[in-house]
A and B are shown apart, each in its own frame.
Chain A
C-alpha cells in the first residue's frame, strides 16, 4: 500500500473542506472495499478523509419513508426493528452482504458510492425508488448510478443519507458467488400500489439496471407465473469465469421469480 495522509472529519462540512484542500483525497467509510483495493494498489489516494466521526449514522422512519444515514453499517440495517418491520427485504439484503465481520464495518453510503456492479444495495435503491441525499442535492437512484463503479457524485460531494419509500411488498434474492458472496445475479422486486419495479445487480455490463419487460408483466399481475416466457437478452450482460452472459440471462429469470415469490 502506498502512503497517505489520514484526516478525521468531525462534520460533513469539515470533510468537504478537507476534500477541497487535500491532494488526491478519497473518503473512507467502512473501508471494506477501499482498504483491500489500496492494498492491491488499485487505488492510491494521497489522503483519506474518515467519515466515522461525522455524525452520519442512524436509521429513522419519517412517515412512509425509511431514512438511513450513510455511515450506518450493514449489521445495523439488518438488525434494525424499523427496517425489519417496514422493508423486510432490505433488512434481509443487508444481512447477507459479505460476512458478519464485514457487515460490522461496511456501510450503505460506502456501498452506493462505490457502485460495484455486483453489490447488493444498488438493486434495492433502484427497485424501491430510493433518493440519495448528498451535502449538495438529492438524487433519484437512476440519476445517481452511472455505470460500472461510477456515480453522479462530484469530487467534493458526500453521500449523507439514503431515503427509501416504504413499498407495499418487496423481495430480494441473490445467487451468490460461493467464494466472494457477491451477486452473480441478484434481483430486487418492489410493488407500490399498481407500480412494480425490478432491478438486477451482478449481471449488467454497465452495472445495476431495471428490467422493464418484467416490470410491465408484474404490473398486470404480481405473480411468479407472470414472468414465464420473458427472456433477457444476453447482449449487455457480463460473462466471466463464474458465469457466461447467457447463463446470467437465464438466471435473471429464475431469480426474479424467486424474488416475486419471496416478496412480503
Chain B
C-alpha cells in the first residue's frame, strides 16, 4: 500500500492507504475528522469541500495519494484559539443553515470565495456557490451569511453587524 504524508490543519500526518482511498475517506476514517461530509459522492453537492494548498476542492473527487506533501485545511481547522472563524461566526449570526449537513462545505467554499475575490456582492456569491447544494434553506440566509463573513474577513465590518 502506498504511504501518504500530508499536513492537515497544521499537523503532519502519515498513513499507509489503499490507492483508491478518497481524500474525504482519509479525513473521516483515518483521521476521524468527520466535519467534512459526504453528500452525493458524485462531485455535485459540495458537502465535502476542503482546501488543498489554499484552493477549495471536492475531497470526494480527489485521491488521498494525490495530496502527497499537500497542505489540507478542513472545517475543523478554521477556528483558532477557541474562537470561531469570521465566516463561521457569520453563518451562526445569520442562521445560514437549517439541518447543517451542507454547512461545512458551504463555509469552506465561502472562505475560498473571499480569499480569491475579497468582499463580494450577492450576484457573485450566488454564482460562486454553484458547486454547493443546500436542500433546506433556499440559500437566502447562506448568501447573507457569506456577504457578512466576507465583510468581516476583509476587515470592513464585524461578522455580527455586517449585512444587517
Contact = CB atoms under 8 A, between A and B. Distances in A.
A99 B130 CA distance: 6
A149 interface: no
**Contact-size category for A:** 20 to 34
Contacts of A102: 43, 58, 61, 131
B19 A48 contact: yes
B143 interface: no
B65 A39 contact: no
Interface stretch (B6-14, B49-57, B94-102): B49-57
A32 interface: yes
Q: A2, A38, A105, A179: which has the most chain B beta carbons within 10 Å?
A: A105
A114 B68 CA distance: 25
A45 B18 CA distance: 15
A102 B49 CA distance: 11
A100 interface: yes
A31 B56 contact: no
Given A4-B20, A36-B42, A100 B66 contact: no
Please classify the interface of chain A as helix (H, G, I), strand (E, B), loop, or mixed, using the class held by over half of its residues. mixed
B66 A104 contact: no
B61 A31 contact: yes
Given A99-B131, A100-B56, A100-B130, A4 B19 contact: yes
A15 to B, nearest CB: 15
A31 B130 contact: no
B63 A98 contact: no
B112 interface: yes
Contacts of A39: 41-42
A77 interface: no
B128 interface: yes
Interface string B109-152: 10011000000000000001011000000000000000000000
B55 to A, nearest CB: 4
18 contacts: A3-B20, A5-B19, A6-B65, A31-B66, A35-B22, A35-B62, A35-B63, A39-B42, A50-B65, A98-B131, A100-B109, A100-B112, A100-B130, A102-B43, A102-B131, A104-B56, A105-B58, A181-B130
Q: Top 6 nearest A-B pairs by Cβ distance?
A: A99-B131, A6-B19, A104-B55, A99-B130, A101-B58, A101-B131
Interface of A: 1-6, 8, 28, 31-32, 35-36, 38-39, 48, 50, 52, 75, 98-102, 104-105, 179, 181
